[in-house]
Chains A and B, each alone.
Chain A
Amino acid sequence: MTDPPLYQIAGVVLFGIGLFRLATTTQILRLLLALNIMGTGTFLVLIGAAVRNRTGAPDPIPHAMVLTGIVVTMGVSAFATALLRRMHATTGQQHLTAPFAFPEDESP
């Protein structure tokens, strides 16, 4: 191992931050944002993998995968947000309910 892959480590840290929020909140918009951050972390890992090869020339295939991933993330986030709006308009709820709700008082 020569240089530490900083982009990839940053990507993994982002993934961890998103994972932490995913595990500790029941507000749906925050869950969506946490998943987006986890996805962004994954993209960083892929981009970092593109130059991490023997020749040092950037490999275009992880770049193409990340471009596709960004577009798909955007589409899914848009639909999830629309669903959340419908849910809030219909039921007034924006939290996960039992059995996914946390037993104690709501988080910040």
Chain B
Amino acid sequence: MNGRVPARYALALPGVAVVTGALVRALMLTNEGDPALGALVQANLAGSGASHAVTAVLLNFRGYDTWLELVVLLVAATATLRARGDRGEQRMREPGELVASGLAARMVPVVLLLGVLLLANGTSGPGGAFQAGAVFAAGALLMYFGGYRLVLVSGGVVQDLLLIVGTFGFFAAAVATTAAGMRTLEFAPRFAGPAIVGIELAATVSIAATLLLIVLAAEEESRASDP
């Protein structure tokens, strides 16, 4: 590469600097706001089914957004699975160093316990479905890279059901609340706790399956292109 800086750098740098500077200036100009919505959340926290404000917002007050987030994950999983090449079998990995020494095999139970802890903590502290789902997916990947075959995500109806159950959890809650005469996804205070726990369980399964399949899809594709 020669020593000259390409022209596009010279063009882009001033433009980006101006935009960044304008945004920083705009930030400095905004003043301290009034957390009206935040106060509203705190006021209604008691009957929301969760004692952690973020969980209450995610799964009760703005449950509709979380529902659509699960749909986005479902679409991402479906699209990623479709975008890979020929539908290969799940590749059997050779156990690597990590597993030959038993380390990964010993870690997996701890990882699963951590996932359960995160899920259980979700209603009263940081945690919840997404964090637990990511941890479960990591544990399953540890097993996969250790040479174990993950039967549940090997394709077929079971895999599809695992992907769908999270979205379906919200759907069931929406149907139940509408059929009971309330506004859709408006939880009565005495049902809010169990509803949130049920939705989080279903969502955890789907999130773990989605994250797992996204990685496995890349694995299968590289197998198809191996000589």
Contact = CB atoms under 8 A, between A and B. Distances in A.
Contacts of A58: 38
Contacts of B207: 71
Contact of A19 (B19, B66, B83, B221): B19
Chain B at the A interface: SS class: helix
B65 A104 contact: no
Interface string B56-77: 1110001001100100110111
A100 B33 CA distance: 42
A96 interface: no
Contacts of B183: none
Q: How large is the interface on B (under 10, 10 to 19, 20 to 34, 35 or more residues)?
A: 35 or more
A33 to B, nearest CB: 16
Interface in A75-103: 75-76, 78-79, 81-83, 85-86, 89, 102
Interface string A62-82: 011001100110111011011
Contact of B9 (A8, A24, A55, A59): A24
B19 A16 contact: yes
Nearest to B13: A20
B111 to A, nearest CB: 19
B20 A16 contact: yes
A102 B72 contact: no
A64 B33 contact: no
A57 B183 CA distance: 31
Interface string B1-37: 1000011110011011101100110011101111101
A16 B54 CA distance: 29
B225 interface: yes
A82 B211 CA distance: 13
B120 interface: no
What are the nearest 9 A-B pairs in CB distance?
Answer: A75-B76, A16-B20, A59-B38, A60-B53, A82-B83, A23-B12, A53-B35, A64-B57, A82-B80
Given A63-B54, A75-B210, 15 more contacts: A1-B31, A15-B23, A16-B19, A16-B23, A24-B12, A55-B35, A59-B35, A59-B37, A64-B62, A68-B69, A72-B69, A82-B79, A82-B80, A86-B83, A104-B6
Interface of A: 1-2, 4-5, 8-9, 12-13, 15-16, 19-20, 23-24, 45, 49, 52-55, 57-61, 63-64, 67-68, 71-72, 74-76, 78-79, 81-83, 85-86, 89, 102, 104-105, 107-108
